[in-house]
Amino acid sequence: MQVLSEGQRLKHDQYGLGEVTASDTERTSIEFDDHGAKLFVTTLMQAELIGEPPPKRTKVRRRRKAKAKVPQANVVAAPPLQKPPVPRPTVKRRVTPVAQSRSGRRRSSR
């Protein structure tokens, strides 16, 4: 079977009536009325074509509306807003007392 055009109607022996949704040299996708979408290998697919392929739709090109240019007044841009600095929280450090010996020398506590 050859590559089918999109929108072409056909009749399959097992799935019944359907419409081609996509087709290339390898795969053909068909949306069947009663069985949903199915994917076939194009060269192995056997189906009976019903009627002529639908005419290709031509896309209608629409013109864009012209935007009206609004005259801009001489406006001076304001400087960007700056956030005030956030004060850092003070960290309270725990001070451990250093033990002194009887001689008055400091010794480290372990």
Q: 28 pLDDT band (50/70/90 cuts)?
A: very high
Q: Which of 30 and 108 is assigned the larger pLDDT?
A: 30
pTM over 0.75: no
End-to-end CA distance of the chain: 90
Residue 4 lies in a domain: no
CB-CB contact of 21 with 10 (8 Å): no
Count: domains in the chain: 1
36-62 residue pLDDT tens: 999 999 999 999 998 777 777 677 778
Residue 62 token pair:
């629409």
pLDDT of residue 105 exceeding 70, the answer is no
Residue 40 domain boundaries:
9-50
- Domain assignment present for 110: no
Q: Is residue 26 part of a domain?
A: yes
Q: Looking at the domain assignment, is residue 91 inside a domain?
A: no
Assess if residue 97 is contained within a domain: no
61 inside domain: no
Highest mean pLDDT among 29-38, 53-62, 74-83: 29-38
Q: What is the pLDDT confidence band of residue 92, given thresholds at 50, 70 and 90?
A: confident
Assess if residue 24 is contained within a domain: yes
- Cβ atoms within 10 Å, residue 20: 21
Q: Is residue 76 part of a domain?
A: no
The two tokens of residue 81 are 């807003």
Cα 80 to Cα 20, 77, 83, 104: the distances in Å are: 58, 9, 10, 62
The reported pLDDT for the residue numbered 110 is: 54
The rounded mean pLDDT for the chain is 80
